[in-house]
Amino acid sequence: QVQLQQSGPGLVKPSQTLSLTCAISGDTVSSNSATWNWIRLSPSRGLEWLGRTYYRSKWYSHYAVFVKSRITINPDTSRNQFSLEMKSVTPEDTGVYYCAGEHGGGWFDPWGQGTLVTVSA
């Protein structure tokens, strides 16, 4: 059974960088059949897919256009986890951030427990 455990700070100051990590158990970040995703839920914008990383003979990362210039999703094979970094955050980036796995069918399962990130001075 695949499980995802998130970690990272819940408060980030405006203009700074948001950093979250998602540890994987029951699967590997280097799996050739999975993608590893970050998704955000906010009151104003609902659920938004932010991006993903995955391995298919080499590493790939894809990002949603609306955040592409600000985010990086990286794998960490030594710790079997992946991370999200979002720079230059504003209060609009406040929300609950989830990591999630996707195994080839286009649906997300499992999900991490979620991290409420508040962007405030």
Residues engaged in binding another protein (CB under 8 A): 37, 45-49, 62, 64-65, 98, 105-114
In the bound state with another protein, the residue whose beta carbon lies nearer, of 15 and 25, is 25
CB of 71 to another protein, least distance (A): 13
Structure-token match 């960088």, residue found: 17
Amino acid identity of residue 52, one-letter, is R
Please give the Cα distance from 80 to 22 (Å, whole number). Answer: 9
CB of 72 to another protein, least distance (A): 17
CB of 17 to another protein, least distance (A): 22
In the bound state with another protein, the residue whose beta carbon lies nearer, of 16 and 92, is 92
| Alpha helices by DSSP H, the chain | none
Report the number of secondary-structure helices (H) and strands (E) in the chain. 0, 11
